[in-house]
């Protein structure tokens, strides 16, 4: 693994575990509950994170299929989402894309990380490395939301172990 990826890879591994910990013991009703009409559900946030990980894989050079059979590809908000995946589907897709990314992290070279990025993310480092860092921070942000939704649904706090 390229040395500049080592700290990011540690965040990737931690977030990989924390998403699953946030969903542990949550049932489908709790996952679909929204604290207000203006808030997302845990199921929506978790499905969004699977899509984000798939995008990260594509950015890193993997040819990954759209998660959930593509049924969320055109949705940008919970209001547009007609068919949220089940928690079992979320877990399975998360584990699949995470396994693919785990291997790809080990293969990326300096020239891969230095490739320019022309997308719309609000970052100063416009390289693949910069986008990897941003997307891992994005994971962390939404995992914090999942931890909050978990507590609001009446479950114990998210575990780090």
**For the chain, what are the domain ranges?**
3-65+76-152
Instruction: Tell me how far apart the alpha carbons of residues 85 and 71 are, in angstroms, rounded to a whole number.
Output: 9
pLDDT band at 150 (very low <50, low <70, confident <90, very high): very high
- The separation between CA 90 and the C-alpha centre of its own chain, rounded to angstroms, equals 10
CA angle 36–43–136, rounded 5-degree value: 105
Instruction: Tell me how far apart the alpha carbons of residues 150 and 157 are, in angstroms, rounded to a whole number.
Output: 7
Tokens of 57: 């894989």
pLDDT of residue 77: 87
pLDDT band at 68 (very low <50, low <70, confident <90, very high): confident
pTM score of the predicted model:
0.94
One CATH from 3.40.50.280, 3.10.580.10, 3.30.1360.170, 1.20.120.450 for 3-65+76-152: 1.20.120.450
The residues, any chain, with a CB within 8 Å of residue 89's CB and separated by 6 or more, are: 68
Question: Mean pLDDT, to the nearest integer, of 22-39?
Answer: 96
| Tens digit of each residue's pLDDT (9 = 90 or more) over 128-143 | 999 999 999 999 999 9
Tokens of 45: 């946030």
Tokens of 60: 């890193």
Instruction: Tell me how far apart the alpha carbons of residues 96 and 20 are, in angstroms, rounded to a whole number.
Output: 13
- End-to-end Cα distance, the chain: 25
- Over 90: is that where the pLDDT of 144 sits? yes
User: Do 145 and 73 contact (CB within 8 A), yes or no?
Assistant: no
Q: Let me know how long the chain is.
A: 161
The residues, any chain, with a CB within 8 Å of residue 106's CB and separated by 6 or more, are: 1
Instruction: Tell me how far apart the alpha carbons of residues 96 and 67 are, in angstroms, rounded to a whole number.
Output: 10
Question: Mean pLDDT, to the nearest integer, of 22-43?
Answer: 97
Mean pLDDT of the chain: 95
């Amino acid at each position: 693994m390229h040395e500049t990826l080592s700290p990011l890879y540690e965040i990737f591994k931690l977030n990989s575990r924390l998403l699953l910990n946030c969903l542990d013991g949550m049932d489908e009703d709790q996952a679909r509950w929204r604290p207000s009409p203006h808030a997302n559900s845990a199921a929506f946030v978790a499905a969004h994170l699977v899509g984000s990980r798939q995008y990260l894989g594509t950015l890193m050079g993997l040819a990954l299929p759209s998660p959930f059979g593509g049924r969320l590809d055109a949705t940008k908000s919970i209001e547009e989402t007609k068919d949220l995946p089940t928690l079992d589907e979320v877990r399975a897709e998360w584990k699949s894309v995470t396994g693919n990314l785990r291997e790809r992290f080990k293969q990326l070279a300096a020239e891969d990380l230095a490739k320019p990025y022309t997308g719309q993310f609000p970052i100063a480092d416009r390289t693949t490395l910069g986008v990897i860092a941003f997307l891992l921070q994005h994971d962390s942000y939404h995992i914090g939301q999942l931890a909050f939704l978990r507590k609001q649904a009446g479950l114990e706090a998210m575990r780090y172990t």
